[in-house]
């Protein structure tokens, strides 16, 4: 019996799952137990529930997989810092947040003092985890897989080809360009400030008219090779300290858009027409 515990920690919608010999046994999001929407932190209650559903204790788990690998794209990070000189407070906060993900065994020891974890911890590159969750759960033997996110492991998007049990990742789009950040910034601009409010904008979209297409094309630029980049004049996340809260509660993200976005679209939350 080969048990794998999968963990999404220190981010919105923290969660856990358990697989036995490749078969999903149990899965849960922490918000179901904490009663806080999109709860972020270490999903201890989800892990406990999954273990109970699987009928095992933590010492029966051979592998733990977490959806981030701090070692990937390290040179991309260094080049960005040297080229852009972001604020010290921004770098300090991001470093402190990443450090939390280094001590998974310590968190397990704290939450399960009576059950020793003797297995291995595997750090999975963020977008590879996304691609796998789509392709390996699909009925297809071969398919194109795409991940479009906010950010994870210094990348916002990835795509590749899945075949059999393997996924060949072709390329990434790296920080600071992100359709997730674009979506979240515009959602904030419209007056929806809670984490996850993008679904409200998505629901309202069919009732609107595409009268801001030219402005959108100034914000997101489609490149000749089919990829994209943001016009960073309209954003703050790449150069300033943005307030983030990813621990023990509802996620909170500070204002992502700059004053230039208001100059382009109107006063924040007031002059947008539907």
Q: CATH number, domain at 111? A: 3.30.420.40
Alpha carbon distances (Å) from 33 to 4, 126, 193, 258: 22, 25, 24, 37
Number of domains in the chain: 3
Domain match, 133 and 96 both: no
What pLDDT score does 186 carry? 97
% pLDDT > 70, the chain: 91
Co-location of 8 and 108 in the same domain: yes
- Specify whether 10 is located in the same domain as 114: yes
| pLDDT confidence of residue 63 | 97
> How far is Cα of residue 241 from the mean position of the Cα atoms in its chain?
18
Write down the pLDDT at residue 61: 97
> What is the average pLDDT score of the chain?
90
pLDDT, position 254: 95
pLDDT value of residue 98: 57
| Residue span of the structural domain in which 104 resides | 3-73+81-124
pLDDT for position 90? 59
**H or E stretch covering 152:** strand 142-152
Nearest 5°: phi and psi at 62?
-90, -30
Buried b (16+ CB within 10 A) or exposed e, 175-187: bbbbbebbbbbbb
Contacting residues for 1 by C-beta, under 8 A, at least 6 apart: 20, 21, 60
User: What is the predicted pLDDT for the residue at 266?
Assistant: 86
Write 104-107 long-range contacts (CB < 8 A, 24+).
Answer: 104/7, 104/9, 104/64, 104/66, 107/9, 107/42, 107/44
Which residues, 6 or more positions from 273, have their beta carbon under 8 angstroms from its beta carbon? 211
Q: Are residues 119 and 23 in the same domain?
A: yes
pLDDT < 70 regions, the chain: 85-102, 267-274
What pLDDT shows up at residue 87? Answer: 62
Q: Could you tell me if 100 and 193 lie in one domain?
A: no
Q: How many residues does the chain have?
A: 274
Q: Are residues 15 and 117 in the same domain?
A: yes
pLDDT for residue 96 = 59
């Amino acid at each position: 019996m080969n048990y794998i515990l999968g963990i999404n920690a220190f981010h919105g919608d923290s969660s856990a799952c358990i697989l036995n010999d490749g078969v999903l046994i149990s899965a849960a999001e922490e918000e179901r137990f904490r009663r806080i929407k999109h709860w972020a932190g270490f999903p201890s209650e989800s892990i406990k529930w999954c273990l109970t559903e699987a009928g095992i204790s933590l010492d029966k788990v051979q592998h733990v997989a977490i959806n981030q690998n701090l070692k990937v794209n390290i040179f991309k990070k260094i080049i960005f810092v040297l080229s852009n000189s972001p604020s010290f407070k921004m770098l300090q906060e991001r470093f402190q947040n990443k450090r939390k993900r280094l001590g998974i065994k310590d968190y397990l020891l704290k939450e399960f003092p009576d059950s020793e974890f003797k297995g291995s911890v595997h750090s999975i590159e963020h977008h590879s985890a996304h691609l796998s969750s789509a392709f390996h759960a699909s009925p297809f033997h071969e398919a194109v897989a795409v991940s479009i996110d906010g950010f994870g492991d210094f990348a916002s998007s990835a795509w590749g080809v899945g075949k059999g049990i393997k996924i060949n990742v072709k390329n990434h789009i790296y920080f600071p360009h992100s359709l997730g950040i674009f979506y979240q910034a515009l959602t904030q601009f419209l007056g929806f400030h809670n984490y996850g409010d993008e679904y409200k904008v998505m629901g309202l979209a069919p009732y609107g008219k595409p009268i801001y297409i030219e402005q959108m094309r100034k914000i997101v630029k489609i490149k000749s090779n089919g990829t994209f980049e943001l016009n960073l004049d309209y954003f703050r996340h790449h150069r300033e300290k943005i307030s983030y809260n990813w621990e023990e509660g509802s996620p909170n993200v500070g204002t992502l858009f700059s004053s230039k976005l208001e100059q382009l679209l109107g006063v924040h939350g007031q002059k947008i027409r539907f």
